[in-house]
Structure 1
Amino acid sequence: MKDNKRLAAQIVELIGGSDNISSVTHCMTRLRFVLKDDGKANADKLKTTEGVMGVVNSGGQFQVVVGNVVESVYNELMNQTGNSSQEQEVKTEGPTVNKKKGLDRFFDALSGIFVPIIPAIAGAGMLKGLLALLILFNWTSAESNTYTVFNTIADAVFYFLPILLAFSAARKFGCNPLIAASVGAAILHPTFTGIVAEGNVQFDFLGIPFTMMSYSSSVLPILLGIWLMSYLEKFIKSWMPKTLDLVFTPLLTLIIIVPVILIVIGPFGIWCGDILSSGFAFLYDKFSFVAGLLLGAVYPLLVITGMHHGLLPIMLQNLSTQGYDVILALCAAGNTAVAGAVFGVYLKARNRSTKAIAASSTISGLIGIIEPGLYGIVIKSKKTLGAVLAGGAVGGIIMALFQVKNTGFGLNPLGGLPVFFGDTFVYYLLGIAASFIVSFVTAYMLGFTEERDAEKS
């Protein structure tokens, strides 16, 4: 605990102090800062700080990799700065993010929205995988009451995904999260879903005709809607008297934004999501070899930059429209390659410190947390990085050729194993085995330049 407290204090100091923090969140291994001035942060000194595995300034975020202790360090950091992440984010993040441009803003928004809801999605995905296993071995029946209860729990997260996304997106865009959740609930109301179920999709509002659609498990409509809502809410607040703000700002926001989503944004978002999903499906079906090779190989590089969050909307869209996804298996190949390469370093290395880092990173990598291996071992050696690319490519090709499917989300390769249970499970095992072996053998054969020899090389 004392070490985490000390580390949090050092990080705050080296990023320019608490006054330089616009917002901060965390994922499984990283503290993700949005800083008011990136130039005040001392990245070089941070990288050499004990307890810090790496520093990445990408996607509009200043990311500090601290490994599995990230939650403890985050809590210590919150205590020391005297703020909660929600208070900071709602208060200051909107204006700060607007200073970012292009892809930085896009990936910053995606990570800020999707990272907080990953635990819920992962838990539901794991449960769906376990249910598939129970059915496969005839340990229960799909008609049993027990199965119905568990299956409903698993489906609920995906069915009501727009509500989760609305809440998370509102925190990111700086508007009221509970009003946003109400918007998500409105478009999922049984009245609307019942109209669609009955086939009466031609509807009108104030004489304006539109097509009623089902928004359960959808992604883009609610994201676009809450993004627009953030501007609408700020506009209303700019002229609304403070004495009336509590009631009339939510009222006007709801009666404007929900119809706009139903009439304009919703159909457009559904159409864009279908185009995105169909486009990837076409590429995957026609050029499986290339898709598997590229994504399997470069996925660890996407993790380093934080760009891997750009895959989440596509995976969610695939799950909502097809009931399964094929991208996660390719990501699993890349993750496994990191674990295999690091294991090769563990067997080859002489330095005790290197072996200790490699051993723990192999275990965490097989579970599905690859940052310790990436920052502790892989990026320090071009040879090891080459082994990762080779192993990821081979595993990705196998996953793509056999079109390995997943029915939910989980840590991979082994942490979320149940989400891959099904007809292609054996090929998933084959893919991760090939990825691990190729990267392990390659890393072991190429060798690893240890820190004590770094100056000679």
Structure 2
Amino acid sequence: MEYKAFNETLLNKIGGKENISGLTHCMTRMRFKLKDESKAKTDEIKQMAGVVTVVQSGGQYQVVVGNHVADVYKEFVQVAGIQTDDSSEMEEDKPKGVLNNFIDIVSSIFTPIISVLMASGMIKGLLALLTAFSLLDKTSGIYLILNATGDGLFYFFPIFLGYTAAKKFGGKPFLGMAIGAALVYPTIVTANSGAGESLLTLFQGTAIESPIYVTFFGIPVILMSYTSSVIPIIAATYMASKVEGFFERIIPRAIRSFFVAFLTLLVTVPLTFLVIGPLTTWVGLIIGQGLSTAYEFSPIIAGTLIGGFWQIFIMFGLHWGFIPIALNNYATLGFDVVVMAGLATPLAMAGVTLAIFFKTKDRKLKEISLPAFLSAVFGITEPALYGVTLPRKKAFYATSVATAIAGGIMGIFKTRVYINGGTGIFAIPRFINPETGIDNSVIGFVVAIASAFVLGFVFTYFYAYSTKDDQSNVNEKLDEQLEEEEQVNGELGQNVMYNLATPISGDIVPLSEVEDNAFSIGLLGKGIAIMPSEGKVFAPADGSVTTLFPTHHAIGITTTDGIEVLIHVGMDTVNLDGRHFSPKVKQGDIVKKGQLLLEFDKEGIQKEGYSVITPVIISNTNQYLDILETSNKEMTQVGDEDFITVIA
């Protein structure tokens, strides 16, 4: 534990665990509620290495530690052995809109298990590869054990999803697991196998013809195959969370711990077998068959479109929407054609980043592009996407074109992917047909990713990238000149100045006049404060949103030049829990200078007794020679004036 010694000392000096009645954290500080603040050794805490200062305000004992507060907080909770409200953790904003909600739900359910999901898929892919080349017999003990290792997760998938889905929907995770276990219970699986004689057949002669083997109080139960299924357990767990909430409200507290779980399972599991399971399975089957039919109608067009837009799907998180569809297709159809075309994207990015590595003269870009290339080859695309291709639009487009062509090639071969698993070059075993071995699917994918890599490299090296596109060293001749001066004089002979635009209109207030020592004496960095004239915050420069606190009162921007800007709206406004704040971006977004980041209700904040004075500081001040503030008394035009000048 990186901060264990620090946290042990802090816990001792603050009066021990028994003196803490509450603990949260914000952007830079741990906010304690102490039973007796006089027990805390404030002067000694201020002198601790790693503590910026201590602020006692609003009934809180605030220990300012800096931007790494989240890591310190997590370890302090473990060291102290205390329970805290999960809402105190840094979480992403709750999404707005149907699509955003859907993506948020899917990503929250699948993210915790995505690594083991890929690992299991890679084991299955390895076995498919070994058996395809007759290197391993399916009857051997090695195969049986490794197959159980790779297939166990998929067979009992509803149990795993029951846990993560229940957490997402606010239910008890073990109730979700219990529902999932019921769906894959051996007796149910055996009854659904059709070994016995059916009692009757429903919907005879239709696409959803269903033989009935069991009844529930005389009601026919349409048994489906729920092993490896996705949609039924998610829908059932959502239903269970609502049922559980209902019983939590009406059952007396004295017997709630037993009866809530009892009644929730008693209601939800039969409903799942009778209604939820069959309906969701049919819906998933219809979606899968519809997509498969569309693909078969024109596999080249389908592959080209999905491949061409795949990295855009990744950017906006839309690729999460394809995951349950693909997993459902594996379970119902035995293969998938939806995510297939997107699997060439990592190799296209690898080709693009390698071309930039060879062509660029920018030392910083070389340092970024080489590891980004290696990561992309093995299927990790984020370093290449956000660090190399996205900031250079032509390179980004080159990736899309190369992937689109690769998708079209897979369409020509009518490629299919049979299992979930690795990406990049590790995706090859996913295309091995478990019945026939290596066929057109494998050949098509190998040809496609090789083409994506070569085309990405050629397009970028000869057409899509120029050294003029990079702005970190705008003047190459100046860079060479500075290198010569370093060699001759042993020191840098010229300073570089970066100008930040005004993020908020209003009256300028010296940072020293802010009623918070952490800001007023510059402990968190140099900067300036503004008394806002309107409730809008704009980006002071091009960059990315590196921090957006859940209560939305503060936002951190890292500019393309590496300057870390913290904009903190109001004093102690973290206590508002997000009231009066409306973010227009989310953490991780790429933003442009002058883009609206945040809106806030200035009057509403003031009515609740909080100051709206807004410090704007450079968090990494110690990396620069100086920080110069504007000499103006008022900033009326957002984005135009030179608000802060950073000298490097």
Q: Secondary structure at the match of 1:194?
A: helix
Corresponding position of 2:423: 412
Corresponding position of 2:131: 135
In 1, the alpha carbon distance for the partners of 2:2 and 2:355 equals: 34
Q: 1:119 and 2:91 equivalent? A: no
In 2, the alpha carbon distance for the partners of 1:91 and 1:221 equals: 33
Q: 1:313 aligns with which of 306, 324, 333?
A: 324
In 1, the alpha carbon distance for the partners of 2:133 and 2:70 equals: 42
Q: TM-score, normalised by structure 2?
A: 0.56
Q: Secondary structure at the match of 1:414?
A: helix
Higher relative contact order, structure no. (Cα contacts within 8 Å, ≥ 6 residues apart): 1
Q: Secondary structure at the match of 1:415?
A: helix
Within 5 Å, give how 1:156-167 maps onto structure 2.
Answer: 156-167=152-163
Q: Secondary structure at the match of 1:204?
A: strand
Distance 1:453 1:90, change over 3 A: closer
CA displacement, residues 391-410 of structure 1 (integer Å, 9 cap, x when unaligned):
11111111222132333223
Shift of 1:452: 3.5
Within 5 Å, give how 1:56-455 maps onto structure 2.
Answer: 78-79=74-75, 97=94, 100-197=96-193, 198=195, 200=198, 201-202=211-212, 203-421=214-432, 422-423=438-439, 424-445=441-462, 446-448=464-466, 449-452=469-472
CA displacement, residues 355-410 of structure 1 (integer Å, 9 cap, x when unaligned):
11011100001111111111111111111111111111111111222132333223
Distance 1:275 1:238, change over 3 A: same
CA displacement, residues 275-305 of structure 1 (integer Å, 9 cap, x when unaligned):
1101110111112111111111111111111
Contact 2:428–2:442 (CA<8 Å) still a contact in 1? Answer: no
Distance 1:277 1:182, change over 3 A: same
Distance 1:251 1:455, change over 3 A: farther
Q: In proportion to residue count, which structure has more helix?
A: 1
Shift of 1:144: 2.2
Q: TM-score, normalised by structure 1?
A: 0.79
Contact 1:346–1:355 (CA<8 Å) still a contact in 2? Answer: yes
In 1, the alpha carbon distance for the partners of 2:470 and 2:140 equals: 58
- Please, what is the CA RMSD of the aligned residues? 3.1
Shift of 1:89: 6.2
Shift of 1:103: 1.1
Q: Secondary structure at the match of 2:266?
A: helix
Identity, in percent, stands at 32
Structure 2: any 5+ residue segments left out of the alignment? 4-24, 32-66, 199-210, 433-437, 477-648
Shift of 1:450: 0.8
1:152 is aligned with what amino acid? A
Shift of 1:87: 8.0
In 1, the alpha carbon distance for the partners of 2:422 and 2:226 equals: 27
CA displacement, residues 324-367 of structure 1 (integer Å, 9 cap, x when unaligned):
22334312212222221111111111110001101110000111
In 2, the alpha carbon distance for the partners of 1:140 and 1:372 equals: 37
Distance 1:187 1:2, change over 3 A: closer
CA displacement, residues 86-113 of structure 1 (integer Å, 9 cap, x when unaligned):
986699999x85x733111111000000
Contact 1:121–1:408 (CA<8 Å) still a contact in 2? Answer: no
In 1, the alpha carbon distance for the partners of 2:269 and 2:88 equals: 24
Contact 1:406–1:420 (CA<8 Å) still a contact in 2? Answer: yes
Distance 1:248 1:13, change over 3 A: closer
CA displacement, residues 56-90 of structure 1 (integer Å, 9 cap, x when unaligned):
xxxxxxxxxxxxxxxxx986673368799x98669
Q: Secondary structure at the match of 1:345?
A: helix
Contact 1:89–1:171 (CA<8 Å) still a contact in 2? Answer: no
Corresponding position of 1:66: none
Distance 1:172 1:347, change over 3 A: same
Shift of 1:314: 1.1
In 1, the alpha carbon distance for the partners of 2:84 and 2:272 equals: 28
Shift of 1:142: 1.4
In 2, the alpha carbon distance for the partners of 1:224 and 1:92 equals: 27
Once the two structures are overlaid, the 10-residue window that deviates more, 329-338 or 309-318, is 329-338
Distance 1:75 1:399, change over 3 A: farther
CA displacement, residues 260-283 of structure 1 (integer Å, 9 cap, x when unaligned):
000010000100100110111011
In 1, the alpha carbon distance for the partners of 2:90 and 2:158 equals: 22
1:305 is aligned with what amino acid? F
In 1, the alpha carbon distance for the partners of 2:134 and 2:306 equals: 36
1:451 is aligned with what amino acid? Q
In 2, the alpha carbon distance for the partners of 1:88 and 1:335 equals: 39
Q: Secondary structure at the match of 1:323?
A: coil
1:428 is aligned with what amino acid? F
In 2, the alpha carbon distance for the partners of 1:127 and 1:360 equals: 26
Distance 1:76 1:104, change over 3 A: farther
Distance 1:232 1:17, change over 3 A: farther
In 1, the alpha carbon distance for the partners of 2:84 and 2:98 equals: 26
In 2, the alpha carbon distance for the partners of 1:284 and 1:18 equals: 54
2:327 is aligned with what amino acid? L
2:362 is aligned with what amino acid? N
Distance 1:175 1:296, change over 3 A: same
Shift of 1:440: 1.1
Aligned residues: 394
Q: Secondary structure at the match of 2:215?
A: strand
Corresponding position of 1:30: none
In 2, the alpha carbon distance for the partners of 1:103 and 1:183 equals: 27
In 1, the alpha carbon distance for the partners of 2:184 and 2:448 equals: 39
Q: Secondary structure at the match of 1:78?
A: helix
Larger radius of gyration: 2
